[in-house]
Amino acid sequence: MKIAVGSDHAGLDLKTEIRRHLEARGIEVVDFGTMARESVDYPDFAFEVAKAVAGGACDYGVLVCSTGIGISIAANKVKGIRAAVAYNVDVAVQSRAHVSANVLVFGQKFTGPETALAALDRWLETPFEGGRHEKRLQKIIDYEAATQP
């Protein structure tokens, strides 16, 4: 498994902990930055992680900014990406089970490392349930295909 990670300056600390945690689990990590505390623009990192996942270079992505909101909106602009902001384990699990989220997003300001790492672990272990959710996911995929080049 290969996971792309990225953050802006406001998510750097949590992203660093996530990267270390994944590596300790033996998971290959591609870190798209940022690596410094200087102010940067979160879309730059969201787009790189999202492109790596959408293009198949990485299996999943994890993004972090202050709230998780801006970076998730940016990632979701990339065709094929379903980025979900998770603030606890249950939300992370639901994002995989019901919408097959392929990018998990955290807000460092609102989600501590212990919660984020637990949510990430459960997210990685959770399969898409299919069933009644398949029809809904397909509608999203079809709409995206019809409206994006």
Catalytic sites, residue numbers:
65, 98
Q: Could you count the other beta carbons within 10 Å of the beta carbon of residue 85? A: 23
**138 burial type by CB count under 10 A (0-12 exposed, 13-18 middle, 19+ buried):** exposed
Range of the domain at 15: 2-147
**65-123 pLDDT per residue, tens:** 999 999 999 999 999 999 999 999 999 999 999 999 999 999 999 999 999 999 999 99
CATH number for position 108: 3.40.1400.10
User: For the chain, what is the domain count?
Assistant: 1
**3-60 pLDDT per residue, tens:** 999 999 999 999 999 999 999 999 999 999 999 999 999 999 999 999 999 999 999 9
pTM: predicted TM-score of the whole model, two decimal places? 0.97
